Each structure stands twice: as structure tokens, then as C-alpha cells.
Structure 1
Amino acid sequence: MAIHPQAGRLPAPETLENIPALVSAYYTESPDPQQASQRVAFGTSGHRGSSLSQTFTERHIHAITQAVCDYRKQHGIAGPLFMGADSHALSEPAFRSALEVLAANDVQVRISHDGSCTATPAVSHAILCWNAEHAGQARADGIIITPSHNPPCDGGFKYNPPHGGPAETTVTSWIEGRANHYLDHLNCDVLRLPYNRARRSSLVQGYDFTARYVEDLPRILDMDAIAASGVKLGVDPLGGASLSLWDPIAERYKLDLTVVNTAIDPTFRFVPCDKDGKIRMDCSSPYVMSGLLNMRDSFDLSFACDPDSDRHGIVAKSGLMNPNHYLAAAAWHLFRSRFQWRADAAIGKTLVTSAMLDRVGQELGRKVIEVPVGFKWFVPYLSDGSCGMGCEESAGASFLCFDGSPWSTDKDGPLLCLLAAEMTAREERAPDEIYRSLTEQFGAPLYQRQDAPADDKVRTCLKALKPEDIQLQSLAGSPVTGILTTAPGNGASIGGVKICSEAGWFAIRPSGTEAICKVYAESFQGEQHLQALHAEAQALLQRLLA
């Protein structure tokens, strides 16, 4: 894909989102349930869409929220529902719409006490804390209004059940079907109060998400070591929900931490454009992170999170760390410093995360549990402590508290950012230096993802694949060691295929949120071998679709 000339530059004023038009469309546009693209659809990260395409409107949110209320009632979930929202323009109206339905259904709701945006991991942590401290009582769950790092025109809605993490496919499928039933009947059976009445209801109470998250950090990170090291930290919240966390963290633990950008603006005009010229708050993109990269000499370490703060971007003196590289260094540090974790606690990773983690796990004597794409697959492993860490190549991860209990069962960007500071303090070298030493020991892999258009035919073909359908004996010159259509960690379908050798691997899977097919490859034998892997992946895809 060609790099857009605006990549890494601030967006031109004329390209900024028209926020009044976007919000107006949320209330005035209505989906056509006969159009598949305008129905409720939960991908790997909830329902996402835009009011401008009639895929994220007031009617959608009313229907989805009523479906969540029905699900809670059916499953006896009667505790408080913790609800947060990020800083996208559509998050505020969707938050209000959801509150109207929740209050009408007599749901106890906990929302930010001061009206600030709420980070995804802070909601997950709040759910887990409530349920741990009220064992045997009514269980809590949560809703997060966010499209993650998607462009400013998008909105999103996620449901987290009482386990605190992203809902399982069985749950989201039920909610999706129920919500579409309401859409089909013009939401006639959706219960709803006017917003002012809902907001004043005694069912709706303020909750200090920030205070609970900040005060609990010593349970999971060595905050004293970070402070004592004097490491100079820089943070760019990219206009997102993590903004409310950083100053309280710095003040509470006396860290040398500077927030370099405190702006909140739904146009995200201060975020450099991504490689395609679009505004996308992806903290793993060097184009989006160009502002923080230009300041890296001012800090020992700097980092950023996306708008709902479930992703991390780590900038060392050498530059922006590839997420796969950072996760390998993080696993190396964590499993050598968390002595109270279960002796058999494994490293959890998705199938398309770097095989460097397999080599790190082997060296540490730790099993590696490989699951399909989606953080929801790590929830049971983090809940019972059988995985010390769960991570995915798209810069999402979480890990256990020092005592082996779960901190969050959703991705936690600020946590991984602060872990980089702990690593620097306790290892006396930055995460990029730790990763460099790992490559000297295990090899230096090259990793690349390519995208191709994907229609329903592609999705159906990939989802129906079985290992015996793939007639490959060698992979880019090396013997094939595995052909996977299900994840070895839990036996769940991966919706595509992964083919492995000792020297590298490739994987093909359709996106859960976009009309594209993702082709991943990783080589431990250099650039030429990496391109050979990609060529074989594309050739296989063409044969399958012939």
C-alpha cells in the first residue's frame, strides 16, 4: 500500500470531521433493517459503525442496550452495571441513549463521577473489584462506548459480562440477534426514559474509576521502583480516556511524568494522519506517533494509548517499538519477576502474535497458550491465573497482579505503558535494549501484515477450511510443521488458516470488523524469506478461491 503524502502530518482543516453533522445524523438517520450492512453486528470488538452510513444511530444503541438488559435479566445479573465512554464524538450521544434504556429497565448504573471519559481497563478493573468484594451477592458487569482507535466519524459499543472482559461469541451473538429483533419491529418494545429523568434516577450513581485504578496500581506494578529510578517519562493520551489517569498517577507516586498533550477534541485535529492519510488514533503506527517520536530525546521513555486506552505504544530512544517486540520483552521481564504467580502460569498469545514469544516461553520453561484473534479468549486464563499474561500483536495486553489475581480481563494500555517504566527501573535498561538482547539469543524475526479485499465468498471459504484441505509439504523452502484451522490453546476455530515451519509462518483470516482479508507472515530468516512467505500465502488464497 502506497504511503499517503499526508501521513505523519497534522490533518488539513478541510478534512476534519463535521461534528455537528455527525451528531445530528445519529439522531435523525434510521437504519434499514433490510440492509445487512445497517443491522447490528458484533465483531471482535463489539458493534461499530457511523451515523453517516446509518450503522451507528440512536435506534441501534437503544436496541442493543435493551438486548443487554434482556440478557442480564435472563442470566440473573442484578448488580451494578459500570458504564464508560471514550472521547469520540458519537460516544456522548450513545452514552446518553444507553442510559435512557438502562434506567427504564431498573438497572443500577455506575458512571464517571465527574463526567470524564473512562478507560476500557478502568471499567474492567471496576467490575472485577466489585465482584471480588461482593462475592455471593448480585454480580456486576459493564458497557463501554468506544470504537477504539477508529476514525473520528465512528462509534462503538462493547459489553463486558461479570468476568470483566469482552463478551464471548455466544453472548454477543445472542445480544446481536435480540437487538436486530428490536430493529425489525422499529424498537416498539424497547423501554426508555427521557434522558433528564434517567440521569436524575437514584439508580444512576457516580463512581470514581480513576481513583480506584490509581490507588490499586501497587498491587500489580513496582511503583516505588519507578519513582526511585527517576526515569523521565512522557505521555501522549492522543485525546483519549487515559488523559484523566496520568496526572493522578504522577502525583500519587511522585513520578517524573509529563503529559505532552492535554487536548480533548472530537475532530482529533492534533493527531497526525496514519499511512493512508486518515485520522486514526493508532498508537502502534509510527505515522500517528510522529509527534511523540519527535520528542523522544526529551524523555528516557515515552508512551501513548488509543482513545479508550486499551492499546499501548512504547517509544524508546531508538524509536517506536514494534508491538511484537515490546510484548516479547514484557513477557521476559514479567515471568522473571512475578514469583507468586502459579508455577505453571503460561504466556497467552493470539495465533498472529510473534513466534518470538514461543522462544521466550521455551527458554523460561513456560507453556505458551495460542488462541484465536480477540482478547475475549484470554478471559478464562487470566481469571484463574493459568495465564500470567495475555497479549495480541495489535498492541493489546494485560497481566496478573503480584499475587496472581486478575487485574483486568480486558486489554490495558496504561498498565503496559507503566510496565515499560518498571522494566527500565528494575532491569536498568529500556525495553528496546531487552528485546535486542533477546534477538541475540533467539534470532531477529521480521513480521509483516498485508490486507486484501474480502467478500462473503472469501469469509465462507476461509471459515470452512480444514487442515486436510491444504496440500503443502514445505513452506518457503522449509518443511511444514503445522497446519492450523483451530487454535492449539483451546481448539476454537480461527476463521482461517495458519501454516508453520521452524523458520517462519503465515496466517490468513478475514477481519471481524472490516471488509478485508488479513495476511500475516513472520520470518526468522530475513526479508527475502518473509516475502517468499507472503507470496506463498497469496498463492494459497488464490487457489482456495479459484
Structure 2
Amino acid sequence: MSIHPHAGKPVRPEDRINIAQLVSHYYSLFPDVEIEEQRVTFGTSGHRGNANKCSFNEAHIVAICQAVVEYRQSQGITGPLFLGKDTHALSEPAFISALSVLVANNINVVIQDDEGFTPTPVISRLIINHNKCLANDDEYADGLIITPSHNPPSDGGIKYNPPHGGPAEGDITKAIEQRANELIAAKLVDVKKVDITQALLSDCVSKQDFIKFYVEQLSQVVDMRAIAKANVNIGVDPLGGSGIAYWPEIAKVYGLNLSVVNPVVDASFAFMPLDKDGKIRMDCSSPYAMSGLIEMKDKFDVSIGNDPDFDRHGIVTKQGGLMNPNHFLAVAIHYLMTHRNWSVDCKIGKTLVSSSLIDRVAAKLAKPLSEVPVGFKWFVSGLQHGEYAFGGEESAGASFLALDGSTWTTDKDGFVMGLLAAEIIAVTGKDPHQYYLELVNELGEPCYGRVEAVANSAQKTVLTSLSPSDVTADTLAGEKIERILSHAPGNNAAIGGIKVVTSNGWFAARPSGTEDIYKIYAESFIDKAHLDAIIAQAQDIVSAAFKKAGL
């Protein structure tokens, strides 16, 4: 995918969305589930869509929430449901729709006390904290987060976190998805709903200061004293996201030298530099979307960016600029495994499209490694039971155990990953980029790349069904192919594509679970030319699979 000529530049008038029209379409358009693009579809992180395209409308939200209610009933989940939302334009009306359905079904819902924004990791922490305090197995809590993550301003999204606090597993989302589509097909006759005024006055709704709760617990997972004592100078750009009110409170409670460089919340996200494809996208791992923070890198010891629901992190250093997410994952893992007194048996969790530098770090430290498919849901059980010390994915999302080895979150946490970067500086005197350079000097430096291309549903289905037999070559970019994977080594789960591995490189091809694209991830420990050769051969393999299927 080529770089748009306006990538990294300010938003133009023609780039802005019509929020009034978008919200109007949220309420006025009704989806036809016979049209695939208008169905409820849970990808790796919930259902996402666009009201203008009839893929994220009130019918979707009320149907999903009714389906969640019925799932809760089938599982005997009777505790509170924590409900959060991010700063996208469609999140506010979707929040109202969700609350109206949940209250109509007599669900006890807990929301932020000022009806403000709530990040994904906060919902996860609330669920875990509530459930670990139960005297018995009843009254388990769960949660819903209304967010399309880093997607453009016109998109909306919603995801369900069951009582373990992390993203719902495939069997759960499949059941919710199927039931929601049945409800929409039946014109919502079985959906219970009350007026929002009645809902907010209901005894079923309670309010809590989520900010105070979360901020006061951060010292359980990050060495906040060390950061304060070292007076690490931290710059933060929330990118207009749901954690905007959290960072000032974190600085106040722990006495940090922290500056929020952009305090703006604007549902059009018109303050964002355009992303690589010329769209407004709040992707904290993109050098184009993060160009504003990168320009200020010399003012701070470390700078932190987050996406709208704060489950991702972007780390900017003075010398290195915006770190490749894989590089920081490797640094974080090495630091944590050498500065925490966790069980020697707990595993390092990585997605199969994350850098093999992580494999080399694990081998150096003699720590067990578990490689799983794309999606943070694969780390949930391990983090919940303390079997995983760390779970991270290449898209800049990760979480890790608390200082005492207990569960912190079972969903990605952009706050703690950013604060960990500051802790590394405070404890080692090296910023994460310097730490990375020392690692690769010993273990070898990777060249990592990812390319994307438009793919329709039929093409995405072909990619999902690829098997080792579809790769007929014996070599990849001049090296002997050692492994061809269609299932992840860590849990033998299908990866929804293939991964081809050599001694010094690999590629993986898989469709996106949330966008109409496919992705090729690749890495070389030789050089950029070798990486380009890997990617070119990977594209040929994908094209051959499409041609074979007549697409």
C-alpha cells in the first residue's frame, strides 16, 4: 500500500467527517443481515462498522446488548456489568442505546461517575478486582466497551469482556454474533429497551469514580516511586482518547514530571496528522499519526501516545524517535524478566506475527515462550492464572503481571506499557531505544515489515483457509524453508492464514478481522533487501492462492 501524499500532514477540510449526518444515520438506517457487510461480525476485537454504511447502527448495538444479556443468563452471570466508552462520535449514542437495553433487562450497570470516557484496561481491571473479592462463585462481573480502537472517526465499535476481564473467546463472540443477527432479522421484536431518561434514573445504574480506582492501583504493577524519584520527564499525547482525564491524575497522585501535550477531545479528531493512507486514524504505532509527538521528542526523556481506548501504546525516545512496537516489546520483556521476582515457570506470550527478536530474548534468558495466533484473547487465560508473565502483540498492545505476580489486566493496557518505559529509564538510566540497541548488538538486528492490500470477503476466506500444502516452494528468499505453519505452536490454534519460517526470516499472511484488507507480516535478520525479497515472494504466494480460487 503506497504512502498517501498528505500522510503526516494536517487534516484538510475534505478529510473531516459530518458528525451530525453520521449520528443521524446511526438512528435512521436499519441493517439488512442478508447483506454480509451489514451483519454483526466480531473480529479479533469486537464488532466494528460505520453508520453511513449501515454496519454500525442502533439496531446493531441493541441487538448485541440483548444477545449479551441472554448469554449472561445462560452462564449464570448475575453481577454488575461495567460499561465504558471512548471518544469516537458514535460511541456516545451507542452508549445510550446499550444502557437502555441493559437496564430494560434489569442488569446492574456501573458507569463512570460523570458519564465520561473509560479506557479498555480500566474495564478489565474493574472486572478482575470485583471478581477476585467474591466469597463464592456468584455475582461475577463482566463488561462492555464501546470503541472501534484506533479506527477512523466515522467508525464505531463494541466489544464484550466476560468475567475473566479480557476479550471474549471465539465461542462466546460467535454465539453473541449469531443471536444478534437473529434479533435484527426479526426486526428487534425480542429486544427489551427503555427510554434513556428512565434508564439513568433506574436503581440498576450506579456510578463510580473509575479514574480514582485505577490510578491508585497503578503502583501495584509499575514502580511509580522510582519514576518520581528519578524525575523522568514524560510527554504524553492521548490522541484525543478515553484516557485523557487519567494522565493528569496519575501525575498528581504519584508526583510525576509529566506533561499532556495535547488535551483536546474532538470527535472529528481534526487535530490528528493524516495516517499513511491519507485517513484520520489514531494509531499510536504509526509514525504519520504520531508525527506531532515525534516533533517534540527532544523536550522529554520519553514520550507516550495512546489510541482512543488506551489498549495500545506508542513509545518515542530522543534518539530513536517512535519505536517499532516489536522493538519495545522485546525491551519490555527483557527488562521485566530481569527486574521482577515472578515465578521462573511463567511464560512469555507473543503473537506469531511479532518479531523473532522476542524468541531470541526468551532463549537468552532461558524463559519459556508461547507463540499464539493474532488476537489478545489468546493471552487471557495465561494472564488470569499467572501462567503468562507477559502477553504482547505486534500492533503495540500488551499487558503483564503485577509486581507480586498476581493478575493486573487480562486486556491490553497502554498506560502501564507507557509507564514501564519511564520505569526502565528510572531504574537502568537507559531509555528504551538505548536498551534496544544493546539487545540487538548481542542478538542480531531484525528488519520488520508489514504490507496491506484491499481484500474482499471471498479473498479473505481463501486466506483464512490456506494450508502448508498451498506453499510449493522449498526456499524463501534464498533460504531453506524450515517450517510452514497453519496452527500456532503455543496452543495449536488455527492462525487464520499461514506462516513460513527460515533460519533468518519469515512471513505470515492473514486477513484482517476488522477491515477489508489482508496483511503480510515479514522479518529478516539479514538486511532490508532480504526482507523485500521475502515480502515479494509472500505476495506471489497469496496471488497464486487467489488465482487458484478463481478470484
TM-score w.r.t. the length of structure 2 is 0.97
**Aligned counterpart, 1:239:** 240
**Aligned counterpart, 1:311:** 312
Among 309, 320, 323, which residue is 1:321 paired with?
323
**Aligned counterpart, 2:28:** 28
Distance, in Å, in 1 between the alignment partners of 2:493 and 2:528 is 32
Task: Give the conservation status (yes or no) of the 8 Å contact 2:82–2:143.
Answer: yes
**Aligned counterpart, 1:131:** 131
Distance, in Å, in 2 between the alignment partners of 1:57 and 1:479 is 50
Task: Give the conservation status (yes or no) of the 8 Å contact 1:242–1:309.
Answer: yes
**Aligned counterpart, 1:352:** 353
Task: Please report how far the alpha carbon of residue 406 of structure 1 lies from its aligned counterpart in structure 2 after TM superposition.
Answer: 1.0
**Aligned counterpart, 2:39:** 39
What secondary structure does 2:288 align onto?
coil
What secondary structure does 1:335 align onto?
helix
Note the 1:366-405 alignment, pairs <5 A.
366-405=367-406
**Aligned counterpart, 1:205:** 206
Note the 1:93-104 alignment, pairs <5 A.
93-104=93-104
Q: Aligned AA for 2:369?
A: V
The answer to whether residue 62 in structure 2 is matched with residue 70 in structure 1 is no
Q: Aligned AA for 1:25?
A: H
Post-superposition Cα deviations, 1:375-404, rounded to whole Å, max 9, x if no partner, equal 001001101111100000000000000111
Task: Give the conservation status (yes or no) of the 8 Å contact 1:120–1:144.
Answer: yes
Task: Give the conservation status (yes or no) of the 8 Å contact 2:215–2:246.
Answer: yes
Task: Give the conservation status (yes or no) of the 8 Å contact 1:312–1:413.
Answer: yes
What secondary structure does 2:529 align onto?
helix
Post-superposition Cα deviations, 1:41-78, rounded to whole Å, max 9, x if no partner, equal 11111000111111111111110000000000000000
Q: Aligned AA for 1:337?
A: H
Task: Please report how far the alpha carbon of residue 361 of structure 1 lies from its aligned counterpart in structure 2 after TM superposition.
Answer: 0.3
The answer to whether residue 57 in structure 2 is matched with residue 57 in structure 1 is yes
Q: Aligned AA for 2:344?
A: A
Unpaired segments of 5 or more residues in structure 1? Answer: none
**Aligned counterpart, 1:248:** 249
Post-superposition Cα deviations, 1:418-462, rounded to whole Å, max 9, x if no partner, equal 000001101110000000111100111001111123233333333
Task: Give the conservation status (yes or no) of the 8 Å contact 2:281–2:289.
Answer: yes
Post-superposition Cα deviations, 1:475-521, rounded to whole Å, max 9, x if no partner, equal 22222221100001001000110010110101111111112111111
Task: Please report how far the alpha carbon of residue 24 of structure 1 lies from its aligned counterpart in structure 2 after TM superposition.
Answer: 1.1
Distance, in Å, in 2 between the alignment partners of 1:452 and 1:293 is 27
What secondary structure does 2:374 align onto?
coil
Distance, in Å, in 1 between the alignment partners of 2:202 and 2:270 is 36
Q: Aligned AA for 1:35?
A: I
Distance, in Å, in 2 between the alignment partners of 1:3 and 1:74 is 48
What secondary structure does 2:338 align onto?
coil
Task: Give the conservation status (yes or no) of the 8 Å contact 2:467–2:497.
Answer: no
Distance, in Å, in 1 between the alignment partners of 2:22 and 2:372 is 37
Task: Give the conservation status (yes or no) of the 8 Å contact 2:362–2:368.
Answer: yes
**Aligned counterpart, 1:517:** 518
What secondary structure does 1:416 align onto?
helix
Task: Give the conservation status (yes or no) of the 8 Å contact 1:150–1:281.
Answer: yes
The answer to whether residue 163 in structure 2 is matched with residue 173 in structure 1 is no
The answer to whether residue 489 in structure 2 is matched with residue 491 in structure 1 is no
Distance, in Å, in 2 between the alignment partners of 1:472 and 1:381 is 36
Distance, in Å, in 1 between the alignment partners of 2:209 and 2:351 is 33
Distance, in Å, in 1 between the alignment partners of 2:464 and 2:312 is 28
Task: Give the conservation status (yes or no) of the 8 Å contact 1:503–1:525.
Answer: yes
Q: Aligned AA for 2:325?
A: P
Among 338, 341, 347, which residue is 2:340 paired with?
338
Distance, in Å, in 1 between the alignment partners of 2:515 and 2:465 is 19
**Aligned counterpart, 2:538:** 537
Distance, in Å, in 1 between the alignment partners of 2:38 and 2:389 is 39
Task: Please report how far the alpha carbon of residue 8 of structure 1 lies from its aligned counterpart in structure 2 after TM superposition.
Answer: 1.1
Task: Please report how far the alpha carbon of residue 469 of structure 1 lies from its aligned counterpart in structure 2 after TM superposition.
Answer: 4.0
Q: Aligned AA for 1:500?
A: V
Distance, in Å, in 2 between the alignment partners of 1:135 and 1:370 is 35
Post-superposition Cα deviations, 1:104-159, rounded to whole Å, max 9, x if no partner, equal 10100000011220000000000000001124131000000000010110000000
Task: Please report how far the alpha carbon of residue 544 of structure 1 lies from its aligned counterpart in structure 2 after TM superposition.
Answer: 2.4
Q: Aligned AA for 2:338?
A: R
Greater CA deviation, 506-515 or 159-168?
506-515
Task: Please report how far the alpha carbon of residue 199 of structure 1 lies from its aligned counterpart in structure 2 after TM superposition.
Answer: 0.9
**Aligned counterpart, 1:508:** 509
Q: How many aligned residue pairs are there?
A: 545
**Aligned counterpart, 1:433:** 434
Q: Aligned AA for 2:465?
A: A
Task: Give the conservation status (yes or no) of the 8 Å contact 1:508–1:537.
Answer: yes
Post-superposition Cα deviations, 1:151-175, rounded to whole Å, max 9, x if no partner, equal 1100000000000000000000000
Post-superposition Cα deviations, 1:192-237, rounded to whole Å, max 9, x if no partner, equal 1111001110110001211111111111110000000011111010
Task: Please report how far the alpha carbon of residue 464 of structure 1 lies from its aligned counterpart in structure 2 after TM superposition.
Answer: 2.8
Task: Give the conservation status (yes or no) of the 8 Å contact 1:116–1:244.
Answer: no
Greater CA deviation, 522-531 or 11-20?
11-20
Task: Give the conservation status (yes or no) of the 8 Å contact 1:220–1:407.
Answer: yes
Post-superposition Cα deviations, 1:319-362, rounded to whole Å, max 9, x if no partner, equal 111100111000010000111x1111111000100000000000
The answer to whether residue 284 in structure 2 is matched with residue 283 in structure 1 is yes
**Aligned counterpart, 2:445:** 444
Q: Aligned AA for 1:155?
A: G
Q: Aligned AA for 1:302?
A: S
Q: Aligned AA for 1:106?
A: N
The answer to whether residue 12 in structure 2 is matched with residue 9 in structure 1 is no
Task: Give the conservation status (yes or no) of the 8 Å contact 2:153–2:268.
Answer: yes
Q: Aligned AA for 2:147?
A: T
What secondary structure does 1:347 align onto?
strand
Distance, in Å, in 2 between the alignment partners of 1:335 and 1:7 is 38
Task: Give the conservation status (yes or no) of the 8 Å contact 2:11–2:274.
Answer: yes
**Aligned counterpart, 2:88:** 88
**Aligned counterpart, 2:148:** 147
Task: Give the conservation status (yes or no) of the 8 Å contact 1:235–1:304.
Answer: yes
Greater CA deviation, 441-450 or 535-544?
535-544
Post-superposition Cα deviations, 1:215-261, rounded to whole Å, max 9, x if no partner, equal 11111110000000011111010111111110111000000000011
Post-superposition Cα deviations, 1:2-42, rounded to whole Å, max 9, x if no partner, equal 32222112201342111111111111111122211111111
Unpaired segments of 5 or more residues in structure 2? Answer: none
Distance, in Å, in 2 between the alignment partners of 1:95 and 1:457 is 33
Task: Give the conservation status (yes or no) of the 8 Å contact 1:344–1:386.
Answer: yes
What secondary structure does 2:389 align onto?
strand
Task: Give the conservation status (yes or no) of the 8 Å contact 2:89–2:153.
Answer: yes
RMSD: 1.0
Identity %: 53
Q: Aligned AA for 1:11?
A: V
Distance, in Å, in 1 between the alignment partners of 2:514 and 2:86 is 19
Distance, in Å, in 2 between the alignment partners of 1:412 and 1:387 is 15
**Aligned counterpart, 1:299:** 300
Distance, in Å, in 2 between the alignment partners of 1:241 and 1:461 is 37
Q: Aligned AA for 1:506?
A: F
The runs of 4+ residues in structure 1 deviating greater than 3 Å are none
Post-superposition Cα deviations, 1:291-319, rounded to whole Å, max 9, x if no partner, equal 11111111111111001000000010021
TM-score w.r.t. the length of structure 1 is 0.98
Distance, in Å, in 2 between the alignment partners of 1:172 and 1:356 is 32
Task: Please report how far the alpha carbon of residue 179 of structure 1 lies from its aligned counterpart in structure 2 after TM superposition.
Answer: 0.2
Task: Give the conservation status (yes or no) of the 8 Å contact 1:478–1:502.
Answer: yes
**Aligned counterpart, 2:411:** 410
